[in-house]
């Protein structure tokens, strides 16, 4: 998550499903795969994945290999989308899953997370690697597993753009660069779900929150689609203006469509933001797996409803 300058010193939403939902998805997210994926992406080998370094290059290769293994095609001529606003070579990793409906496939849902982090610490200490397990290897892991689900089930009528951003920690550079290219292509965006810091659970009566809760009806529709209190309102999110601090904002600014980040970091459940102790060993793999599993029905509905049900609030 982009640097928060006020960091660290409920309104409960309850929506019963009154339209068709897909609660009973016959797909099981593998906890082992979640663990293995996150463990490598947050390993010391990648040296904190700072944009423009050898560490993030290893992460890029890892993500490209994941796309290839799961037969997810590149959106551009390759999976690598070069940033236009960074001094040294840096890349978003972008794949696409074409929709199955001849008309709806012209619309896109964006599933995204940033795979960069802040790299090596300059302080004189034993551990210098900011592994970024929660921020945001956890989000990348969730998006990857959702992408695998759609690649296997082909249950998306709309097309899905899968994006792993670089340069988020440098000022949302990856998303800013990408939206300029997409605008030139007349990219038909329906909605974006950006996953940000979901490595540990909240002690609340809902699973996660969305940034910019009142900007659209996304929270209400997700709860309707899952049939659960999946999304709630977090006052701290509004206080710290988190809507503007992650890659969803670049897309919202460019397209004016529902583009929001989903997170379980609530300022009370994780003490290692931008800290060398943000490591795999403090991640709750069971929670992450359950998070992905619970979101699959919602993302399936978002990618498949015959009309655009998620809309901006006026």
Give residue 52's pLDDT. 97
pLDDT at residue 1 tops 90: no
Give residue 122's pLDDT. 87
Give residue 16's pLDDT. 39
pLDDT at residue 6 tops 50: no
pLDDT tens per residue, range 153-212: 999 999 999 999 999 999 999 999 999 999 999 999 999 999 999 999 999 999 999 999
Token reading at 4: 């928060």
Residues 266, 202 contacting (CB under 8 angstroms): yes
> CA 48, CA 70: separation in Å to the nearest integer?
26
**In this structure, is residue 307 part of a structural domain?**
no
pLDDT tens per residue, range 17-57: 334 445 668 999 999 999 999 999 999 999 999 999 999 99
Q: What share of the chain is helix, strand, coil (3-state, %, to 5)?
A: 40, 15, 45
**In this structure, is residue 24 part of a structural domain?**
no
pLDDT tens per residue, range 300-309: 999 999 999 9
Give residue 242's pLDDT. 97
Give residue 286's pLDDT. 98
Domain count, the chain: 1
Give residue 25's pLDDT. 84
**In this structure, is residue 26 part of a structural domain?**
no
Least Cα distance to 146 among 100, 178, 109, 107 occurs for: 109
Give residue 9's pLDDT. 39
pLDDT tens per residue, range 110-152: 999 999 999 999 888 889 999 999 999 999 999 999 999 999 9
> CA 87, CA 156: separation in Å to the nearest integer?
37
**In this structure, is residue 309 part of a structural domain?**
no
**In this structure, is residue 25 part of a structural domain?**
no
Question: E-assigned strands of the chain?
Answer: 73-74, 80-82, 91-97, 108-114, 159-165, 189-195, 208-210, 231-232, 259-263
| Greater pLDDT, 299 or 19 | 299
SS3 (DSSP) at 245: coil
189-195 and 108-114 strand pairing:
parallel
> CA 16, CA 36: separation in Å to the nearest integer?
35
**In this structure, is residue 192 part of a structural domain?**
yes
Report phi then psi at 39, rounded to 5. Answer: -60, -45
Partners of 263 in the beta sheet? Answer: 209
Give the ranges where 89-210 is alpha helix by DSSP (H): 138-153, 173-184
Residues 204, 232 contacting (CB under 8 angstroms): yes
DSSP codes of every residue in 197-221: --SS--SSSSSEEETTGGGBSHHHH
> CA 262, CA 15: separation in Å to the nearest integer?
18
Rg of the chain (C-alpha set) = 18
**In this structure, is residue 253 part of a structural domain?**
yes
Mean pLDDT lowest for which of 12-16, 152-156, 226-230? 12-16
Partners of 209 in the beta sheet? Answer: 232, 263
Give residue 23's pLDDT. 60
> CA 95, CA 81: separation in Å to the nearest integer?
10
- Expressed as residue numbers, the domain containing 129 is 31-302
Give residue 24's pLDDT. 65
pLDDT tens per residue, range 235-279: 999 999 999 999 999 999 999 999 999 999 999 999 999 999 999
Report the CATH number that the domain containing residue 236 is assigned in CATH: 3.40.630.10
pLDDT at residue 12 tops 90: no
**Residues, the chain, total?**
314
């Amino acid at each position: 998550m982009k640097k928060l300058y006020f960091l660290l010193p409920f309104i409960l939403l309850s929506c019963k499903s009154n339209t068709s939902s897909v609660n009973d998805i016959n797909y099981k997210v593998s906890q082992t795969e979640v663990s293995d994926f996150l463990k490598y992406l947050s390993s010391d080998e990648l040296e904190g994945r700072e944009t423009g370094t050898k560490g993030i290059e290893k992460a890029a290769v890892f993500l490209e290999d994941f796309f290839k293994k799961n037969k997810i095609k590149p959106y551009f001529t390759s999976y690598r989308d070069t940033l236009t606003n960074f001094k040294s070579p840096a890349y978003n990793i972008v794949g696409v899953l074409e929709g199955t409906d001849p008309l709806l496939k012209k619309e896109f849902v964006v599933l995204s997370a940033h795979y960069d982090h802040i790299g090596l610490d300059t302080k004189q200490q034993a551990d210098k690697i900011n592994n970024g397990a929660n921020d945001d290897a956890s989000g990348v892991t969730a998006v990857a597993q959702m992408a695998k689900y759609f690649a296997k089930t082909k249950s998306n009528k709309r097309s899905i753009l899968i994006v792993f951003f670089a340069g988020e920690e440098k000022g949302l550079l990856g998303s800013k660069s990408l939206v300029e290219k997409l605008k030139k292509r007349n990219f038909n965006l329906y909605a974006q779900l950006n996953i940000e810091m979901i490595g540990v659970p909240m002690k609340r009566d809902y699973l996660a929150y969305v940034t910019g809760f009142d900007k659209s009806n996304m929270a209400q529709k997700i709860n309707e689609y899952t049939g659960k209190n999946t999304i709630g309102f977090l006052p701290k999110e509004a206080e710290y203006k988190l809507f503007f601090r992650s890659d969803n904002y670049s897309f919202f600014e460019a397209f004016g469509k529902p583009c929001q980040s989903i997170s379980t970091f609530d300022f009370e459940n994780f003490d290692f933001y931008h800290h060398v102790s943000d490591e795999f060993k403090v991640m709750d793999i069971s929670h992450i797996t359950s998070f992905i599993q619970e979101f699959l029905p919602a993302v399936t509905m978002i990618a498949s409803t015959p009309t655009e049900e998620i809309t901006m609030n006026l």
